[in-house]
A and B are shown apart, each in its own frame.
Chain A
Amino acid sequence: MKIFRILLALSIVVSLSLASGKDIAVNLGLNASSKAITQWEKVFNQTRKMKKLGIDTLSDLDKNVLKKYLINHAADSDHPEAAGM
């Protein structure tokens, strides 16, 4: 089907996309599910806490990407569900 070909082509484009929040988290040794959403929000509201975790040195763009990733994967976030997942 034509639509599948288009979507596959898009997937290749996507594979060349920007560094993800996950990559930044891995580099900083942060585990998203180690905190709840509110706790991650508190981290990003306090310079001291960001400094402690090495987040303060990131650019604003990377901070936003990281924050989105950590909140979306926090311990109490909406998790995907499937057999064996």
Chain B
Amino acid sequence: MKTIIKSSLIASMFALSLSANTIDDLSKQIDSLQLELSQLKSSQLDGDDELEERIDEIETAILIDKIKFTLEFRTRVDNFNFKTANGIVSHDNNIWSNRLRLNMKSKIDDNMKFNGRLTMNKNWSDSNLNNFANMDPMQARRPANSGIFVERAYVDWVITRDSIPIILTLGRQPSSDGPSHQFKDNTVRKSTYSALSFDGAADGIVLTMNLQEVSEVDGMAVRIGYGKGYQDHSNKSYLVNQNSIDDSNVLGLFFDTGLVQEGSLLQISAVSATDVVSNVEDSNKNIGDMMLYTAMLEFTNIVDSNLDIFAHYAVSKVKPNGISSENNGEKVGFLQNDSKSKKQLTGSAYWFGARYTMPIKSMNNPRIGLEYNHGNKNWFSFTQGSNDLTNKLATRGSATEVYYIQPINRYAHIRLGMQMIDYDYTGSGSQIGLPTKVSDTELDKLNNYYLQFNLAY
């Protein structure tokens, strides 16, 4: 019996010592695991800190990069051919030019952003200013020297973000290369107004009431615009200008709406310009008032057909005040010569066209386009700073343009085009002088064959 008790005691003691050893091991293992875990946590925190620092660096770089620049560059060659009514033909061929645009964008906060465009536009090896290149609406729009003009500089300020957001646009406006020039220019809408009635640089204020939310229609908005066609001032602004003439004030109302499909636009507008000036050097006068009514419609890639189409129609109603300026020894008034008449003169014009994108992937989907416009005897609009040198949309007669666009990559393309302008009446694009049937040595036909390389990045 004693032997049994002894044996049991020895066995229990052995088991206890073994158990103590196992607990010790386990305890050591737990300590080791805890150490590893804390090291892992520590390295994780170090990694997080490093990642946060790197994100901070990127965020800082973005925050101090106040203005985002994009680039547009164009090299172009024009070949002009003229024919007078009495059959004399002349040429101005192989005219090369460069145009550089630096577009700027800056988001100041959620309710304010800035947009701008700095432009150089010049003929090769020529620093002379094209006629009118220094005039306000034509700055950057006509070849000049290698200097930079500010073509656009405006702030969009969201005053309220209620169901009808109201936005005020102050400054040198997005008023050039408007709808539907984007098809030919191989881009998207680049201006507020129909290019049949308005094209050029312009300073002003535009109040936009965005109706998208209340109407649930993309692009629906009403705009009221105010600007000056001419502002008289003294060279020494603190002195009264004794020989001043009245400022020309421009006020417009515009209604825009999309038509379900993206890239579609319907715009209807009425613009009043009072105290229009003759712009004649040394004899600048207020020559009358005018109204300009425009309606336009355009579709991009209509029903996924690769076809883009547009049509514009406008009516100008000129009211001369009977005052004339003296221009090259002749008296000229608003669409009339030396006349005291104040009779309203009505003009009209239309412009339509189409562009087709060829589904040839191997050729980067080239495009072809056709445009036609016609203006009658008294047609007058505000396209002096036009998309191209010929100001074809001001034609008192008809103009046809065909073009081919060959994309090189996403950002660059080549355009080959031909413009054929047939003038019926004189003075296209000018507010002074009586338009008369083209005769004798007056310009009857103008053709331009052009080729251009364009990069927008």
Known: A14-B303, A80-B188, A84-B210. A7 touches B297 (CB 8 A): yes
- Docked CA distance A50–B350 (Å): 48
Question: How many residues on the A side are at the interface (Cβ–Cβ under 8 A)?
Answer: 23
- Docked CA distance A17–B304 (Å): 9
B297, A8: Cβ atoms closer than 8 Å: yes
Partner-binding segment picked from B24-32, B256-264, B269-277, B429-437: B256-264
A11, B259: Cβ atoms closer than 8 Å: yes
A83, B223: Cβ atoms closer than 8 Å: yes
CB distance from A19 to the nearest CB of B (A): 12
Residues of A within 8 A of B190 (CB): 80-81
Closest residue of chain B to A16 (Cβ to Cβ) is: B260
A84, B167: Cβ atoms closer than 8 Å: yes
**When each residue 1-45 of chain A gets 1 if its CB lies under 8 Å from chain B and 0 otherwise, what string results?**
101100110110111011010100000000000000100000000
CB distance from A79 to the nearest CB of B (A): 7
Residues of B within 8 A of A1 (CB): 311, 313, 350
Residues of B within 8 A of A20 (CB): 261-262
A81, B264: Cβ atoms closer than 8 Å: no
Residues of B within 8 A of A84 (CB): 156, 167-169, 206-208, 210, 221, 223
Taking a contact as CB atoms closer than 8 A, the residue among A7, A15, A85 that contacts B260 in the complex is A15
Known: A13-B303, A14-B303. A83 touches B297 (CB 8 A): no
Known: A10-B302, A11-B299. A81 touches B115 (CB 8 A): yes
Residues of B within 8 A of A18 (CB): 304
- Docked CA distance A11–B303 (Å): 9
- Docked CA distance A83–B266 (Å): 16
Q: Does more than half of chain B's interface fall in helix, strand or loop, or is it mixed?
A: strand
Task: Tell me if B332 is interfacial: C-beta within 8 Å of chain A.
Answer: no
- Docked CA distance A4–B352 (Å): 10
- Docked CA distance A85–B352 (Å): 25
- Docked CA distance A27–B450 (Å): 46
Residues of A within 8 A of B302 (CB): 10, 14
**When each residue 292-313 of chain B gets 1 if its CB lies under 8 Å from chain A and 0 otherwise, what string results?**
0001010100111000010101
Task: Tell me if A60 is interfacial: C-beta within 8 Å of chain B.
Answer: no
B260, A3: Cβ atoms closer than 8 Å: no
- Docked CA distance A22–B258 (Å): 14
Task: Tell me if B456 is interfacial: C-beta within 8 Å of chain A.
Answer: yes
Task: Tell me if B174 is interfacial: C-beta within 8 Å of chain A.
Answer: yes
Known: A17-B260, A80-B190. A10 touches B311 (CB 8 A): no
- Docked CA distance A24–B352 (Å): 33
Residues of A within 8 A of B262 (CB): 20, 22
- Docked CA distance A74–B391 (Å): 34
Residues of A within 8 A of B173 (CB): 83
Known: A78-B187, A83-B174, A84-B221. A3 touches B311 (CB 8 A): yes
- Docked CA distance A18–B259 (Å): 14
CB distance from A41 to the nearest CB of B (A): 10
Residues of A within 8 A of B187 (CB): 78
B297, A4: Cβ atoms closer than 8 Å: yes
**When each residue 157-195 of chain B gets 1 if its CB lies under 8 Å from chain A and 0 otherwise, what string results?**
000000000011100011000000000000111111000
Taking a contact as CB atoms closer than 8 A, the residue among B167, B206, B261 that contacts A14 in the complex is B261
- Docked CA distance A7–B173 (Å): 29
**When each residue 314-332 of chain B gets 1 if its CB lies under 8 Å from chain A and 0 otherwise, what string results?**
0000000000000000000
Task: Tell me if B379 is interfacial: C-beta within 8 Å of chain A.
Answer: no
**When each residue 53-85 of chain A gets 1 if its CB lies under 8 Å from chain B and 0 otherwise, what string results?**
000000000000000000000000011111111
With contacts A10-B299, A83-B225 known, what are 4 further pairs, Cβ within 8 A?
A14-B299, A78-B187, A78-B188, A84-B168
Nearest first, the 7 closest Cβ-Cβ pairs linking A and B are A84-B208, A84-B167, A83-B169, A83-B206, A15-B260, A80-B189, A11-B259
> What would 18 A/B residue contacts be, using CB atoms closer than 8 Å?
A1-B311, A4-B295, A7-B299, A10-B303, A11-B261, A11-B297, A79-B188, A80-B190, A82-B174, A82-B192, A83-B169, A83-B192, A83-B225, A84-B156, A84-B167, A84-B168, A84-B169, A84-B207
